[in-house]
Structure 1
Amino acid sequence: MPPSPNTPAPTATHRPELLAPAGDWECARAAVENGADAIYFGLERFNARMRAHNFTLADLPALMAFLHERGVRGYVTFNTLVFADELDAAADYLRAIIAAGVDAAIVQDIGICRLIRRLSPDFPIHCSTQMTISSGAGTDFARDLDAHLVVLARENSIKEINAIQEAQAASGRPLPLEVFVHGALCVAYSGQCLTSESLGGRSANRGECAQACRLPYELISDGQKVDLGDRAYLLSPQDLAGLDVLPELVRAGVASLKIEGRLKSPEYVASITRTYRRALDQILEAAPPAFDREAARYELEMSFSRGLYTGWFNGIHNQELAHGRFGTKRGRFLGRVTRVQGDRVFARLESPLKAGDGVAFDAGRHAEGEEGGRIYTIDTAKSGESVLTFGRGAVNFGRVHVGDRLWKTSDPALGRELRATFAGDKVRFTRPIRAEVHGHAGAPLTLILDDGEGHQVKVASSAPLAVAEQRPLDTERLRQQLGRLGGTPFQLGELANHLEGEVIVPLSELNQLRRDAVAQLTALRQAPLRWALTAPDPTTTRVAANATAVPTETAPELIVVTRDLAQFEAALTCPGISTFYCEFENPKHYREAVTRFRSHQQTTSDFEHPTSNLSTAKPSIWVAPPRVFKPGEEWILKQVRSCEADGFLARHHEHLRFFADDRVRGDFSLNVANPLTAEFFRERYGLERVTASYDLNIGQLEALLQNAPGDWFDITIHQHMPMFHMEHCVFCAFLSSGKDYHDCGRPCEKHRVALRDRVGAQLPLKADAGCRNTVYNNRAQTGAEYVDRLVALGARYFRVEFVHESPDEIPRTIAAYQRLLRGELTGSALWQELKLLNQLGVTRGQMETGPRTILKKRS
């Protein structure tokens, strides 16, 4: 909520941009008419909200002319991963976007950033929150991409934002920062959620998130269900509301404040935009307008709310972030049911309610469905209780109980008020322009209008100024006539009167001068921005010509990924394995793993099986830092490096910098989906190899290998897909009363925990050194049936990953894949063998072409 009267005003002088979402034309108008400085929107392809209505390429000229006339910037969301066989289409799409004069593209894919720069040397790139930029190294990375702005991860606190700004200032090349300030919070780090991909073949990195985080789960600890009462929505955070911390964000120098909601209604866009516009103006204006704190909170709750919370801005508080009681819209809490008599419900209300409002009865069993409807009448009983009646058949009163929570979910009157702010073509929100007038008797009156955004027009009257015998054109009279800007997107701001002497011109002439100047200024603003575009070139989407393929005689290598010491020791005894990757929850154990690896080297004369025809790579052990880094966590990276492994897996921008002098390979979290991305990591950061994105199915993997050398890539052919990767700690939130690692008692070190979904699958849960949680798919997925095709295209390095397998399972699985790579076993035969080896069987997972099952969407 807005700051209290005692909150000191921000000292920063900049005005942060207010950025609103627009899923369609109505939403765009709602944003513009309620004070947005910019909007962001998607097109038919390559955007992370494919379920929104979205605009088309054909809409762009009219949309940008409308926005620019109103002084509003427009950013296209090109924020998905792009596959190798889509790069040519993406280039054509980007050419059209750039030519249409869009203000910037919001981009996730590294290869697309490089492609944009090949197409245009000056078109602005905004690094999407899907890039998981959460530290100063991330902004350095964005500068390497020649980006203009960085959208930070939602998980960054204000303290961390200030640290990033300090790091940027020290570099001497700061980039503007954008943060989400309101709307739905994804529980997983954006760009790091593979849940929908894993469960249904619908990648969040491709705009097809099925919102599995909003579903109920049971908590299983050491094999037993934990009784959590009515808390079942363990991964569903409350919605972000940053009004309380707006002064701190302004002081931190945040350049853009972003509202989430491209799937929301135009009324939602209108409500949230106008609320934050008013709050910002109160903070920034010398004479701030009045702001009703309680009315603002009510409006935010009614527009859409799963509960309002400051998210991670004030740091981590796992008890508050996700209360677990529901995962959908609620609205305003009204009170509790005190009695049910026939078709009447009695309640003690804490907030106003009126006939026509919609309500829902919350018995704490949301998954079973809830009762609710519109209020028909509301009266007051002698007891002081409110008596509610509903339309016939609207409510099953047998399912309404004493003690049920009562929520107001709809306020039609507010909805009508909000729609009135943007419906039709009427201009409602105006922006100030500066006017100057010049002239003297016998010369024309010259009017200059300046919109403060680089547009200036100069017009002269057709009739000369005359000496005024009475009522000369003084500043007051000029303001009166020039300020008649109704129906235009302007209001008269500063007026500079440079007229010499007491002069006059007919008012009709002055009015025509104003109209002509406004028309010219409007035309200037509507003109599309002109970005440089290179000539079409078929090599634009290709990697460098000197990239060499793997020699066909190079034997394939099997790389084993283990997640605890017992698994590692089991893998270490397997003949024929030369390369080991370790990802342990506690990096302190890396030193022990490296010690055991070195000892094993000394006591084993040959790491190869005597009859093996697999790779004879020099034995090596590689370790993985935690998947995300935030300011203040340097100690973790130092601890990782201290183990003196042979190499490190880069999983975050910070790792590219910290391990720059070491041997480094890129892990899957770098989201390498096309050859341009792979080439950038290899050429700019010297990575030996990168792991192909887990979003790629077999057809897309083949396209990748057809367009880049196979020895650039590790390809994972056996794994439990890492689904949610979260700052939210389920261990802390639901197995302790603490707010973070300081006071949680570390239940993650004491219990083996899983989340049980609605179909009974128990999904393993693990915590890392940064207390971030990863939920894994319980079923292993295999690409065994596709290995021959991948080898034929040059792939040589194949990863087999383990999560919760026992040490006894490790050698059997490794041996099976070794036989596959040696040609002693077919992919289909291994598929059958794995089904027998694994208690839950196996799945083809994301390797299989096309979507498999569709998760039920949540509202």
Structure 2
Amino acid sequence: MKSDRPFSSSSLQRPEILAPAGNWECAKAAVENGADAIYFGLDRFNARMRAQNFTEADLPQFMAFLHHRGVKGYVTVNTLIFPKELAQAQQYLRTIIAAGVDAAIVQDVGICRLIRHLSPDFPIHASTQMTITSAAGVEFVKSLGCQLVVLARECSLKEINKIQQQIAQQNTSLPLEVFVHGALCVAYSGQCLTSEALGGRSANRGECAQACRMPYELIADGEVVDLGNRKYLLSPQDLAGLEVLPDLVKSGVTSLKIEGRLKAPEYVANVTRVYRQALDRVMEELDAGTRREGDAGNGVKKSFASSQENYNLEMAFSRGLYTGWFGGINNQELVHAHFGKKRGVLLGEVTRIRNEQVTVRLEAPVKPGDGIVFDCGHPEAKEEGGRVYGVVEKGKEALLTFGRSDLNLRRVHVGDKVWKTSDPELDKQLRQSFAGDNPQFQRPISLEVYGEVGQPLIAIARDELGNIVQVESAIALVEAHTKPLDTNRLQEQLGRLGNTPFALGTLTNHLSGAVMLPVSELNRMRREIVTQLEELRTQPKRWQLHSDVSFQNLLPSSSPKKEDTGTRGHGDAGNLSQTLSASPHLPISASSSSPSLIVLVRNLKQLQAALQAGVETLYCEFEDPRAYREAVHLVRQQAQTQKEKFLPHPPHLPHPPHPTIWVAPPRITKPGENWILQQVRASKADGYLIRNYDQLQFFAADRCIGDFSLNVANPLTAGYFQQRFGLERLTASYDLNITQLEDLLTNCPPHWFEVTIHQHMPMFHMEHCVFCAFLSEGTDYTNCGRPCEKYEVKLRDRVGSEHVLQADVGCRNTVFNGTAQTGAEYVQHLIHLGLRHFRIEFINETPDQVQKTIHHYHQLLQGKITGSQLWRELKLQNQLGVTRGPLGMSALRS
């Protein structure tokens, strides 16, 4: 596929097309169909472990191939890294950097630190797994040394533009990348714990079990809601940003990312080609608009995708195509809920079944050999389908016949939808696009030609990457009496670039007078230009790589010196004194020897029950942060009552502890949502549970504890949050099993941490509002009628488990595992390791259940019962449905 596009003259930056590659064939499909860059994983530490992936040994040859073709290659290192994996990860990163990879896409904060420690200039791209939704998130990853940010898929065009505006004003600009096509996760990437909760597999470790694609029943106030054949309540349509490409270009995003490292090479070829050609048209029209109007925003048609392109995208892979969150929130459109698997193109509807023939009212073309499936509204069951054997078209209908015994027509009904799932002819065309060894997609080069009689011909060639070569003729130019070297002749001879990675873009003729040169010499110069450009392209990137440093230089001390009162470790030695002096927080004492129980509640009744149970440290996570004022008042009132109870207080006895209250902002903060954080701070709580980068910034002068959503899984990450932000404690990642948690506690001061030992795992955390989508006809909070305030809602899965659904003040939903999980059996071991802060969380328990559970955990921490006794006791009560959670299950697996 030849690319004749010249270099863009538009003032707008041309974004790169970034394509996925799960194997060599997919990589070739991407390259030959116009990808500017590809991203791929190796055999470890990547978020698509089910892909074939590449090996470290492949890297030198693979990168040479990509660079020869003018394509960049980014390695995904986008999983959390556990403590004992740091040495392995370090060697892995050294190999990646030495191989000349163009960047690493990274999730783990500690790995960002390690890369920058190993190499001061190797590019780091902040993965969408880092859940970046705001300018504060961009600033955070810039401080880590990242050079590009992959925004969360949930960001709208309006929000992307706002982020661009804010980071420009704050002088923290980084290039932004957005997903433009492919599967949409219903949950925020990096914040989905469903696979961990239900199957012991972690999406943060590349092992997503795709529970969002399964059917669920909606239960409101104990009654099943009749939704007809809408059962796939958490399965979004696939993202297709083709229609908003002009807006994305005008927003200034640097990279347009296509999802699909688990997809076939035909998918990669198909989608890459469609977006390459569409982007070329957008840039041409923007250029034309700039020239006509003097305004880059004019001259672009809103709808420019052809019916063939839409067809190709649907055939590539489709659960339905939609612009996702680019246009803002529309809960009625995002999830149609009819199915959660690939369908393809809607072919039509069955109108008649007779004599082994099926008549279909057509909405798309069909031909013999196409694969179809009949949709009777039950995609969870076995569906009838097969290859079309014969087609007889009659107006808008077609009579379809199939091979003998290919399908059971008794299971096909009038009114069934028919989906075209396979187009062998299209697949053949796509495979031809990347077949063979000769380049099929050629990238433009520009040529400038100089010379005069008696002097050599000089040709200067530039490619899009900035490589430049100069070639001179071996013989001098002579005066031409006939057929001088005009621009047309130069283009004809120097533009013969077949079977090379190049196509002639622009040629500028600076020749003086009528001159000539033998065709054979022009051909030699052309070949020399190609050879020299190829040599420049394939030279490996030479990133700086320190041989005398190690991740161990970044490890905090597990035994703080006496003068270090406890909140900070000894990580980046050069910056530690500076961060200590800059911290606004008073250090907390590490001398407390008795274990402490922390209780998180989600309503005022639970809070009152926890106070009555004698809990000293309380966390509140309410849907409405305005209720935090009353919660704080209740706790302060309890503290005053306790104070009065002990008056007059004997001077020789220690003061009894007073309960403290910490309140939680929502897990996601987007542009324009600081009003929510202001409401949270207005409660004047003792401190705040920090969930994201905006909150690190907003509550910088307050007492703060880092929650699990910061994904602290290794000492390098823990050290960064402690040393740079002075958090009083960090909540260990929910991805850690007991062995990995032990490794974390022995490589850091254990008083840095608290561990959640009892909870209903927050599985899906999502922008998609199930309340709005299925209990109203509204599209968002402005017209939904607030069903989240009227109903108690659960989602029942295929095995009958009922999971609790809750909304927050930003209308984001969380699905909590209906079954509570406990790590009680490991508490004594954790105490022995020096851990003193243990958290239990409630979701919808009654006050009595809250008090009984707290009582058991108090006994456990006091050594009056064992973890197994607690487990058995709660199991016998059968009120909380406690099972062994990730601490226990993961340990048993390991």
TM exceeding 0.5: yes
Match of 1:428 in 2: 440
Counterpart among 507, 510, 516 of residue 504 in structure 1:
516
Q: In 2, Cα distance between the equivalents of 1:656 and 1:146?
A: 18
Superposed CA offset, 1:288-335 (max 9, x none): 999761111111111110001111111111111101100001111122
Match of 1:173 in 2: 172
Q: In 1, Cα distance between the equivalents of 2:150 and 2:122?
A: 17
Superposed CA offset, 1:170-227 (max 9, x none): 1123111111111110000000000001111110000000100000000111111111
Structure 1 residue 61 and structure 2 residue 74: aligned?
no
Q: In 2, Cα distance between the equivalents of 1:139 and 1:629?
A: 13
Superposed CA offset, 1:80-127 (max 9, x none): 011111111111101110111111111111111111100111111111
Matches within 5 A, 1:689-838: 689-838=729-878
- Corresponding pairs, count: 840
- Matched residue of 2:490: which SS? helix
Structure 1 residues 75, 607: closer, same or farther in 2, change over 3 A?
Answer: farther
Match of 2:223 in 1: 224
Match of 2:406 in 1: 394
> Normalising to structure 1: TM-score of the pair?
0.94
CA shift, 1:436, in A, is: 2.7
Structure 1 residue 534 and structure 2 residue 546: aligned?
yes
Matched to 1:634, the amino acid is N
Structure 1 residue 343 and structure 2 residue 356: aligned?
yes
Q: In 2, Cα distance between the equivalents of 1:310 and 1:211?
A: 21
Superposed CA offset, 1:413-442 (max 9, x none): 111111111122121111111223334444
Q: In 1, Cα distance between the equivalents of 2:153 and 2:12?
A: 24
Matches within 5 A, 1:367-516: 367-380=380-393, 385-516=397-528
Structure 1 residue 638 and structure 2 residue 678: aligned?
yes
The worse-fitting range, judged by mean Cα deviation, of 822-831 and 173-182 is: 822-831
- Matched residue of 1:368: which SS? coil
Instruction: Tell me if structure 1 keeps the 8 A contact 2:10–2:283.
Output: no
CA shift, 1:841, in A, is: 3.0
Matched to 2:802, the amino acid is Q
Matched to 1:33, the amino acid is E
CA shift, 1:393, in A, is: 1.3
Q: In 2, Cα distance between the equivalents of 1:763 and 1:15?
A: 45
Match of 2:329 in 1: 316
CA shift, 1:342, in A, is: 4.3
CA shift, 1:44, in A, is: 0.5
The worse-fitting range, judged by mean Cα deviation, of 747-756 and 452-461 is: 452-461
Q: In 2, Cα distance between the equivalents of 1:179 and 1:607?
A: 59
Instruction: Tell me if structure 2 keeps the 8 A contact 1:30–1:266.
Output: yes
Structure 1 residues 617, 265: closer, same or farther in 2, change over 3 A?
Answer: farther
Superposed CA offset, 1:715-758 (max 9, x none): 11111100000110111111111111111111111111100001
Matched to 1:567, the amino acid is Q
Instruction: Tell me if structure 1 keeps the 8 A contact 2:21–2:261.
Output: yes
Q: In 1, Cα distance between the equivalents of 2:255 and 2:115?
A: 22
Structure 1 unaligned spans of 5+: 1-8, 854-859
Superposed CA offset, 1:552-596 (max 9, x none): 762211100111111111001112x21101111121211111000
Structure 1 residues 617, 119: closer, same or farther in 2, change over 3 A?
Answer: farther
Match of 1:203 in 2: 202
CA shift, 1:46, in A, is: 0.6
Structure 1 residue 307 and structure 2 residue 320: aligned?
yes
Q: In 1, Cα distance between the equivalents of 2:498 and 2:280?
A: 22
Match of 2:376 in 1: 363
Structure 2 unaligned spans of 5+: 1-7, 289-299, 567-589
Superposed CA offset, 1:674-727 (max 9, x none): 111111111112211111000111111011111111111111111110000011
Q: In 1, Cα distance between the equivalents of 2:891 and 2:255?
A: 36
Structure 1 residue 604 and structure 2 residue 642: aligned?
yes
Q: In 1, Cα distance between the equivalents of 2:553 and 2:191?
A: 25
CA shift, 1:447, in A, is: 2.8
Structure 1 residue 570 and structure 2 residue 609: aligned?
yes
- Root-mean-square deviation (CA, aligned residues, Å) is 2.4
Q: In 1, Cα distance between the equivalents of 2:393 and 2:655?
A: 82
- Matched residue of 2:386: which SS? strand
Matched to 1:402, the amino acid is V
- Matched residue of 1:459: which SS? strand
Q: In 2, Cα distance between the equivalents of 1:648 and 1:607?
A: 28
Match of 1:845 in 2: 885
Match of 2:596 in 1: 557
CA shift, 1:792, in A, is: 1.8
- Matched residue of 2:633: which SS? helix
Q: In 2, Cα distance between the equivalents of 1:74 and 1:396?
A: 48
CA shift, 1:539, in A, is: 4.7
Structure 1 residue 259 and structure 2 residue 258: aligned?
yes
- Matched residue of 1:848: which SS? helix
- Matched residue of 1:258: which SS? strand
- Matched residue of 1:604: which SS? helix
Match of 2:338 in 1: 325
Match of 2:620 in 1: 582
CA shift, 1:445, in A, is: 3.1
Structure 1 residue 522 and structure 2 residue 518: aligned?
no
CA shift, 1:824, in A, is: 1.6
The worse-fitting range, judged by mean Cα deviation, of 548-557 and 735-744 is: 548-557
Q: In 2, Cα distance between the equivalents of 1:192 and 1:546?
A: 28
Matches within 5 A, 1:642-657: 642-657=682-697
Instruction: Tell me if structure 2 keeps the 8 A contact 1:699–1:849.
Output: no
Q: In 1, Cα distance between the equivalents of 2:304 and 2:801?
A: 49
Instruction: Tell me if structure 2 keeps the 8 A contact 1:12–1:250.
Output: no
Q: In 1, Cα distance between the equivalents of 2:96 and 2:105?
A: 12
Match of 1:124 in 2: 123
Matched to 1:41, the amino acid is F
Instruction: Tell me if structure 2 keeps the 8 A contact 1:348–1:385.
Output: yes
Instruction: Tell me if structure 1 keeps the 8 A contact 2:138–2:172.
Output: no
Instruction: Tell me if structure 2 keeps the 8 A contact 1:109–1:677.
Output: yes
Match of 1:857 in 2: none
CA shift, 1:499, in A, is: 3.7
CA shift, 1:167, in A, is: 0.6
CA shift, 1:547, in A, is: 6.3
Instruction: Tell me if structure 1 keeps the 8 A contact 2:331–2:772.
Output: yes
Q: In 2, Cα distance between the equivalents of 1:771 and 1:319?
A: 14
Q: In 2, Cα distance between the equivalents of 1:757 and 1:617?
A: 44
- Matched residue of 1:817: which SS? helix
Match of 1:24 in 2: 23
Structure 1 residues 10, 484: closer, same or farther in 2, change over 3 A?
Answer: closer
Superposed CA offset, 1:351-402 (max 9, x none): 2111111111111111112111111112246x96422111111111111111
Instruction: Tell me if structure 1 keeps the 8 A contact 2:438–2:500.
Output: no
> Normalising to structure 2: TM-score of the pair?
0.91
Instruction: Tell me if structure 2 keeps the 8 A contact 1:51–1:263.
Output: yes
Instruction: Tell me if structure 1 keeps the 8 A contact 2:805–2:815.
Output: yes
Matches within 5 A, 1:32-51: 32-51=31-50
Q: In 1, Cα distance between the equivalents of 2:689 and 2:560?
A: 23
Matched to 2:767, the amino acid is E
Matched to 2:106, the amino acid is V
Instruction: Tell me if structure 1 keeps the 8 A contact 2:243–2:305.
Output: no
